[in-house]
Amino acid sequence: MACREMDRIEAYADGQLDLGSSLNIEQHLIGCETCAAALEKQQTLRSVMGRASLYYDAPPQLSARIRSAVRRQAKVPAVSRPAAPAAWRWFAVAAPAASIAILVWALVAVSRTPSKGDLLDREIASAHARSLMGDHLMDFPSSNQHTVKPSLSGRLDFSPEVKDLSSAGFDLLGGRLDYLDSRPAAAIVYERRKHLINLFVWPLEAGAVEGPVETSLRGYNMIHWAQSGMNYVAVSDLNPAELQSFRRALQD
């Protein structure tokens, strides 16, 4: 039969009762077979679960991935340049406040040596290349603009426009979340004659290009422009002329 102390048996076995209640339960257990059986059941289950090692250990590469993502978002130089933070720390101990300020300014200046535009191009080329590897291309595969748009908006703090460009010869394949210029970006994927185009969209900040500006890096062509409060970058191995027609179709 059920016993009204049953509810407390689990808490007792979980070590969640205070001392007084625990002692009461122990007293009660001597005389109540139902509760004693319930306790035994729970202890058995626990030992079986413990024996089975149900814990999933994190894969070894996850740590590096998390660190670099965190540093990207925090806008602190990535671990791939270990010299800078180490030196910074050494000086921070030795130098008075004024020198630190100068040093930090110098470090920021040095880390900017490749222009912001160059760095962004590199990021975009890498993001594009990465998207072509394995199955990183799409989080939300769909040729329907009305499916892709809400999927992206739901995970971002802005709502990118998703256009159907099939009439211009660019087929919508889907959308993906990406990370560019230290913030989340939408990646909308199109295809033309087996050439993939990643269209990156993220909110405009002051000082962004009005465009369109053409660049190229590592065999990828890119066009940057700004439109309705958003940065747009189209990147592909398509030739620049066709990429321009893609941009025009989007801006129409």
Binding site for other proteins (CB under 8 A): 1-2, 7, 10-11, 14, 16, 34, 37-38, 40-42, 44-46, 48-59, 62-63, 65-67, 69-71, 73-76, 85, 88, 151, 154-155
In the bound state with other proteins, the residue whose beta carbon lies nearer, of 36 and 226, is: 36
In the bound state with other proteins, the residue whose beta carbon lies nearer, of 74 and 206, is: 74
We find the least distance from the C-beta atom of residue 57 to other proteins, in angstroms, to be 6
Element (H, E) at 107: helix 97-111
Judge whether 68 and 79 are in contact, CB under 8 Å. Answer: yes
| Listed residue (248, 241, 240, 220) closest to 232, CA to CA | 248
In the bound state with other proteins, the residue whose beta carbon lies nearer, of 151 and 231, is: 151
We find the least distance from the C-beta atom of residue 179 to other proteins, in angstroms, to be 9
Give the type of residue at 25.
Answer: I
We find the least distance from the C-beta atom of residue 234 to other proteins, in angstroms, to be 25
We find the least distance from the C-beta atom of residue 147 to other proteins, in angstroms, to be 12
User: Hey, is 112 helix, strand or coil?
Assistant: coil
We find the least distance from the C-beta atom of residue 69 to other proteins, in angstroms, to be 5
| Token pair recorded at residue 180 | 């560019």
Neighbouring C-beta atoms of residue 100, cutoff 10 Å: 15
The greatest distance separating any two alpha carbons of the chain, rounded to the nearest whole angstrom, comes to: 87
Buried b (16+ CB within 10 A) or exposed e, 58-87: eeeeeeeeeeeeebbeeeebeeeeeeeeee
Pairing of strands 213-217, 230-236: unpaired
In the bound state with other proteins, the residue whose beta carbon lies nearer, of 57 and 205, is: 57
We find the least distance from the C-beta atom of residue 239 to other proteins, in angstroms, to be 34
In the bound state with other proteins, the residue whose beta carbon lies nearer, of 75 and 193, is: 75
Judge whether 142 and 148 are in contact, CB under 8 Å. Answer: yes
In the bound state with other proteins, the residue whose beta carbon lies nearer, of 106 and 213, is: 106
